[in-house]
Structure 1
């Protein structure tokens, strides 16, 4: 399904304790499939209680570059107004850090 030149990376964060995601998953997670050399995000999915949330978050990241941190964070701030906004941003930054660590080995 995914070519051999891709990486699977999960970013993690916490959200408020009264958030349904936190109650169901005990954390917030975004999974990314990223092309190793280019950093292009070819798939993304997150832990969410509503399927539309996961699809919307996927639309923010799909076909973007994981290295475009500031642009992606700005897009999250400008487009996503759910209670998990900060958790999404933190999880993305966590995945970005993991990607850079992998690429610097």
Structure 2
């Protein structure tokens, strides 16, 4: 039985020398619960170190649509100034690419 919401993870390298890099082996991880059919982000969890960064990432992403990845990336570029900014963008693009593969498979079966 397919559920409407799916779980996707993405990984990206972190800059050397930041705390998250030392704690998480040099990678940032994000888990996204997304509606398989609409692309709407329902929830996220990420491996940022501080609770504030995790909360801010959630505020930036929950309710957004992965299909609007360019707009999401633009908002991150304009508003997120943590040391892991490039990694945050890369991991989201990784999730988006995986989502596109999943959607393509769904359309083929229809």
Q: Distance in 1 between matches of 2:91 and 2:43?
A: 15
Number of the residue aligned with 1:18 = 17
Alpha-carbon contact 1:45-1:55 (below 8 Å) kept: no
TM-score (norm 1): 0.94
Whole-Å Cα distance in 1 between the matches of residues 29 and 101 of structure 2?
Answer: 19
Q: Following superposition of structure 1 onto structure 2, how do residues 45-56 of structure 1 map, counting pairs within 5 Å?
A: 45-56=45-56
- Contact in 2 for aligned 1:10/1:30 (Cα 8 Å): yes
State the alpha-carbon separation in 2 of the partners of residues 45 and 59 from structure 1.
Answer: 11
Aligned length: 103
- Name the structure, 1 or 2, with higher relative contact order (CA <8 Å, separation 6+): 1
Equivalent-residue separation in structure 1 for 2:73 and 2:4 (angstroms): 26
Structure richer in helix, relative to its length = 2
Cα drift, residue 16 of structure 1: 1.0
RMSD: 1.2
TM-score, normalising length: structure 2: 0.90
Gaps of 5+ in 1: none
Moved over 3 A (4+): none
